[in-house]
Amino acid sequence: MAMANNKTQCFTCNKEKITYPCEGCSKRFCLIHLTEHQQILNQELNHIINDYDQFKQTINEQKQNLQNHSLIEQIDEWERNSIEIIRQKAQDCRKSLIESSQTFINEIEMKFDDLSEQIKQIYNKNEFNEINLEYLTNQLIEITQELNNPLNIFIQQGSQPFISDISIILSKKPKWNKWKQDAITVAGGNGKGPELNQLNRPAEIFIDEKKNIFIADQDNHRIVEWKYDAKEGQIIAGGNGQGIRMDQLNCPTDMIVDQQTHSIIIADWKNRRVIQWLNQKQQILIENIHCYSLIMDKHGFLYVSDEKKNEVRRWKMGEYNNEGIVVAGGNGKGDQLNRLSFPGFIFVDEDQSVYVSDRDNHRVMKWRKDAREGIVVAGGNGQGANLNQLFFLEGVIVDHLGQIYVADLGNHRIMRWCEGKKEGEIVVGGNGEGNQSNQLNSPTGLSFDDEGNLYVADYRNHRIQKFGITL
């Protein structure tokens, strides 16, 4: 009589042996490898316990350091600024009240001195009667009442807030936007050329509230506007050939558009000038500057990157005849934190911090207002295609959550970085160099419309791509 064969294959050694099942993974192991499997599970459990212990320690540390929350410093600064504003206002009001009161009392005193003089003369001459006495009595009553009832002075409180209010907003975890990976072409895309339905290496873009697209059409030496859903653009600056005349441009790389005043401030790169077109009339604002990018903050300060001097300067509106103020770089070419190497596109946030695409250093630098050196907020790990690297970056913009979007030109992709993170993530592109709808070829400019759709200046594909936001 044959012995029953109850042997099966061990998952680890693949030999026919008497095996035992693991209830967790449902795999069967021989006795030796079942023991090893249990030991591995014990090790993983110990790792999990250790992670839980570390998390508990982190919670306890944060509970003990609530006063060190990063926002406490901002609240303290708001308190100091608000107190200073109130103190100064109170001081001004006190000064105004004292000055007006002093003037009032001086006038009363003069009237009293006049009456005293009249009394003295009447008394000395011994020429008084009931009429004189009644007059003097009434005059004294009048000035007494006037003194006791001063000018109609009162405190008026304005209906508008005197100091900017702050509050703590407890929001849910921010929702990171995502975009469709296949774009649609909204400008250009008809090959490289000078026709109105063509572009030639578009460098930077701006999208207005009506989704009209303004483009620095670099190698066509013009600024063009493509109306929403238009089949071709219209020239709003330049377009008169490459040249140095006032009505010509030479490889414009960036622009600021003010539709209310019909003003366009242009980084006329190869002409080394910042020029303004206002109702088709031209005015040079800044000369002899290798301007690559420019932006204006909410206070009206103009920032310009100079790719030869490796710096970013700031000018006050209307004061372009001076040298401006260096706000980033300015210490020569290099990769130290106080230097830049070919600063390209720039962005300025609400706090006047300047973000610079430090192109040849393959990193984005953030220079806080009045800082002597910057900090690396994206890249900075050498040239490459890993998620912690960039390769000749161009456009940079920062959203309201502080997320940094970078046109990673050499890697043909758009990256998103959160300040403090060691690596970024690809949001669109990254599918190799090409002209398909999910590909880019040396992207440069970036912009969002009011709905959050992402627009990319697809430089060597001579087109503007729109990546629709996914809700």
Grade residue 160 by pLDDT with cuts at 50, 70 and 90: low
Q: Kindly give, in sequence order, each residue whose CB lies less than 8 Å from that of residue 151, ignoring residues fewer than 6 positions away.
A: 100, 104
In tens, the pLDDT along 1-16 reads: 344 467 889 888 888 8
Cα separations in angstroms, 56 against 60, 127, 200: 6, 101, 58
Can you tell me whether residue 126 is helix, strand or coil? coil
The Cα 251–Cα 392 span in angstroms is: 19
Q: Please state the domain extents for the chain.
A: 8-57, 88-171, 184-467
Contact of 39 with 53, CB cutoff 8 Å: no
Can you tell me whether residue 113 is helix, strand or coil? helix
**pLDDT higher than 50, residue 210:** yes
Residue in the block written with tokens 């709905």: 451
Q: Kindly give, in sequence order, each residue whose CB lies less than 8 Å from that of residue 440, ignoring residues fewer than 6 positions away.
A: 412, 413, 414, 428, 429, 433, 434, 456, 458, 461, 465
The Cα 395–Cα 406 span in angstroms is: 6
Residue 25: per-residue pLDDT:
79
Contact of 142 with 114, CB cutoff 8 Å: no
The Cα 50–Cα 409 span in angstroms is: 42
- Who has greater pLDDT, 68 or 37? 37
Segment 130-156 shows an average pLDDT of 74
Segment 285-296 shows an average pLDDT of 96
Residue 130: per-residue pLDDT:
75
Residue 4: per-residue pLDDT:
45
Grade residue 123 by pLDDT with cuts at 50, 70 and 90: confident
Give the gyration radius of the chain's Cα atoms: 37
**pLDDT higher than 90, residue 144:** no
Segment 117-122 shows an average pLDDT of 80
The Cα 416–Cα 71 span in angstroms is: 24
- Who has greater pLDDT, 81 or 453? 453
**pLDDT higher than 50, residue 288:** yes
Segment 371-394 shows an average pLDDT of 95
**pLDDT higher than 60, residue 159:** no
Cβ–Cβ contacts within 10 Å for residue 53, how many?
10
Residue 4 token pair: 């029953």
Can you tell me whether residue 434 is helix, strand or coil? coil
Contact of 356 with 346, CB cutoff 8 Å: yes
In tens, the pLDDT along 100-113 reads: 888 888 887 887 88
The Cα 190–Cα 230 span in angstroms is: 13
Segment 67-80 shows an average pLDDT of 81
Q: Select from 187, 178, 183, 181 the least CA-distant residue to 205.
A: 187
- Who has greater pLDDT, 74 or 360? 360
pTM to 2 decimal places: 0.65
Across 150-182, b (16+ Cβ under 10 Å) vs e yields: eeeeeeeeeeeeeeeeeeeeeeeeeeebebbbe
**pLDDT higher than 50, residue 187:** yes
**pLDDT higher than 90, residue 219:** yes
Q: What is the 3-state secondary structure (H, E, C) of 400-421?
A: CCCEEEEEEHHHCEEEEEECCC
Grade residue 192 by pLDDT with cuts at 50, 70 and 90: very high
The Cα 429–Cα 445 span in angstroms is: 14
- Range with the lowest mean pLDDT among 177-186, 257-266, 337-346? 257-266
Segment 320-324 shows an average pLDDT of 91
Residue in the block written with tokens 């003069």: 110
Cβ–Cβ contacts within 10 Å for residue 145, how many?
9
Average pLDDT, the chain: 89
- Who has greater pLDDT, 76 or 148? 76
Residue 1: per-residue pLDDT:
39
Contact of 273 with 284, CB cutoff 8 Å: yes
Q: Tell me the backbone φ, ψ of residue 386, rounded to 5 degrees.
A: -70, 165
Q: What is the 3-state secondary structure (H, E, C) of 318-374?
A: CCCCCCCEEEEECCCECCCCCCECCEEEEEECCCCCEEEEEHHHCEEEEECCCCCCC
- Who has greater pLDDT, 444 or 47? 444
Residue 167 token pair: 């509050």
- Determine the number of helices (DSSP H) and then strands (DSSP E) in the chain: 3, 30
Grade residue 66 by pLDDT with cuts at 50, 70 and 90: confident
Homologous superfamily (CATH) of 184-467 is TolB, C-terminal domain (2.120.10.30)
- Range with the lowest mean pLDDT among 12-16, 138-142, 183-187, 415-419? 138-142
What percentage of the chain has pLDDT greater than the value 90?
56
**pLDDT higher than 70, residue 87:** yes
What is the distance between the terminal CA atoms of the chain, rounded to a whole angstrom? 71
Q: How far is CA 345 from the centre of its chain?
A: 13
The Cα 218–Cα 254 span in angstroms is: 9
